[in-house]
Structure formats: C-alpha cells, structure tokens
Amino acid sequence: MKTVIITGTSSGLGQAFFDMFSRESVHLLCIARRFLPYQEELAREHHERINLIPIDLRDVERITAKVDFTKLLPIDEIDELIFINNAAVVEPIGAVGQLDQEKIIEAVQVNVTAPFLLTNALFAVPKLVDSNIKIKVLNISSGAAKRTIDGWALYCAAKAGGEMFYDVLAEQYNNTNTVSIHNVNPGVMDTQMQEKIRSANNVHFPNRDRFVNLKNEGQLPSPQEVAQNIVKKFLN
Ligand SMILES: NC(=O)c1ccc[n+]([C@@H]2O[C@H](COP(=O)([O-])OP(=O)(O)OC[C@H]3O[C@@H](n4cnc5c(N)ncnc54)[C@H](OP(=O)(O)O)[C@@H]3O)[C@@H](O)[C@H]2O)c1
C-alpha cells in the first residue's frame, strides 16, 4: 500500500494535498495542530487508512514521542512511502533587531527543528530503508531559500537551512535507487500564508506591495493547482 505523510494539512497547500490523497486508496498520515471538521469526518469514515495526528510543531520536545513512526507505519504492508514536509510559518516578518524573541524561537521550531526531527525519526524506522519500499521525500521549500527578501530573515534562513538538510540526505542515499529526496519550490500561491504576508504592514518589509499586487492582479494560483503540478512532476 502507498503511504503518504503530510505535515500542516489544515490550510493551503497541505490541505490541497490532503484533498487529493484522501480521495485515493492510500494510507494517509496527517500531522497538524488542528484538523478541519470534514477531515475529522473522513478520518472517522476511513479510519483504517486515514490517521490524523494532532501536534503543535512548536512542541519539539515531545514531537517524536507523539509521532512514533515505528508504531504508526505498518512496514510490511507498505510498498511506497511519501513524506511531504509542508508545514511552515513565514513570521516573524520585520527588521532584525526588532523581532520578537519568542517568534524567532517558534519559527525555528516549526520550520527547522520539527522537520529535522521528524525526518530523522522516519529514517530510523527499522527495515524502512533496507526493504524495497520506494521512499520519496518532498521538502516544500521556497524561492526565499535562495533569494534574500528584506524583512524575512527567519523564513529565508529556515528555508535555506532546510534545503541543505535535504540535499545532504539526498547525498546520503545517492547510491540507492529506492530513496529520492527533493526540495520543491511551489512558487507563490493563494493561501493563508500570503494573507499574512500582505497584512505585515506595520513592520520593516519594503517588498510588501509586490505581494499585494500579486493578489490584486490575480497572479496567485490556487494551492490545488500547485499541488497537482507537484504531484505530476515529483510523484508520478
Ligand atoms: N503561499 C506561498 O505563496 C508559498 C510560496 C512558497 C513556498 N510556500 C511554502 O508552501 C508550504 C505551504 O504553505 P501555505 O502557503 O499552504 O501556508 P499556510 O496556508 O499558512 O499553511 C501552513 C500550514 O502549516 C501549519 N502550521 C503552521 N504552524 C504550525 C504548528 N506550530 N504546528 C503544526 N502545524 C503548523 C498550518 O497550520 P494552522 O492552519 O494551524 O496554522 C497550516 O496547515 C510552506 O512550506 C510554505 O513555506 C508557500
């Protein structure tokens, strides 16, 4: 059976992935701090194949205890495993020197520490990489990993660090044809994250107008469209 693990399924791109994969007959493991009523209903209806795991990704001390992949993954029944590291926060936006200390810590927890811990725990599952299971990891990154955006020090740094982590992981497995790791830049899209970007008007963020214009000019694709393109490009 194909197993798909997604973080951050409550909105935007993660929700679009949820909608796609919940329609297929795959084992779906969703890691998020909240679930939408229809997701809970679907999980009740298809409890044998849809697991919702509630966790706040800021809670890095408890994350691997709460998300115990060794217990959650029926290794002997899996032939393909997809891990989509999607959850992220763009905040804090603003000038370094004026950032809220707690928000800095949270950004690193959600965007850096949590995915690194989850990925490390996943690759520690006994028999996973030594079997014939096809493993694909998609790290949902951003153009901000490679391009500085004034006011986004935390987000740019986290995405750059994430890409390097998954590049090193890719190198670890480059002699294995069952494991593939990709950094994926989804491009801008019309989600809650873009709303937060547009509303960052009282902080140092010189390029805010660019994002406001993208929305006003109808240049933000839907997360559904982006999810379909990612699946076509990386998962087929
Ligand atoms: N939108 C864009 O234009 C854009 C462009 C480039 C890259 N990306 C990347 O695409 C991915 C998806 O972003 P999106 O635009 O779909 O953003 P989004 O709509 O804000 O969704 C982010 C998801 O992450 C979850 N999340 C945030 N903090 C969390 C926490 N502490 N614990 C658990 N879950 C948490 C959110 O949950 P809540 O709903 O509970 O907050 C939500 O489900 C991200 O990696 C983002 O960096 C987005």
pLDDT attached to residue 38: 98
For ligand 1, the distance from its centroid to the CA atom of residue 89, given in whole angstroms, is 6
Alpha carbon 109 to its chain centroid, in Å, reads: 13
Largest CA distance in the chain: 53
39 lines ligand 1 (CB under 6 A): no
Atom of ligand 1 nearest to the CA of 87: 24
Give the residue among 167, 169, 140, 142 at the shortest CA–CA distance from 154: 142
Which strands, in side-by-side order, build the sheet including 80-85? Answer: 50-54, 27-32, 2-7, 80-85, 134-140, 179-184
Nearest CA to ligand 1 atom 39: 10
Cis bond leading into 92, ω under 30°?
yes
List the structure tokens of 17.
């992935």
The radius of gyration of the chain's CA atoms, rounded to the nearest angstrom, is 18
Atom of ligand 1 nearest to the CA of 58: 31
pLDDT attached to residue 236: 86
For ligand 1, the distance from its centroid to the CA atom of residue 86, given in whole angstroms, is 7
Q: How far apart are CA 236 and CA 216, in angstroms?
A: 34
Q: Where are the alpha helices (DSSP H) in 27-100?
A: 37-45, 63-66, 69-72
Torsion sign (Cα): 181, 182, 183, 188: negative
Give the residue among 57, 89, 97 at the shortest CA–CA distance from 196: 89
User: Of 6, 10, 208, which is best to mutate to test ligand 1, by the most ligand atoms within 8 angstroms of its C-beta?
Assistant: 10
188 lines ligand 1 (CB under 6 A): yes
pLDDT in tens for each of the 236 residues of the chain? 999 999 999 999 999 999 999 999 999 999 999 999 999 999 999 999 999 999 999 999 999 999 999 999 999 999 999 999 999 999 999 999 999 999 999 999 999 999 999 999 999 999 999 999 999 999 999 999 999 999 999 999 999 999 999 999 999 999 999 999 999 999 999 999 999 999 999 999 999 999 999 999 999 999 999 999 999 999 98
pLDDT attached to residue 113: 98
142 lines ligand 1 (CB under 6 A): yes
89 lines ligand 1 (CB under 6 A): yes
pLDDT attached to residue 48: 96
For ligand 1, the distance from its centroid to the CA atom of residue 191, given in whole angstroms, is 8
Residues belonging to the active site: 155
Q: How far apart are CA 24 and CA 88, in angstroms?
A: 25
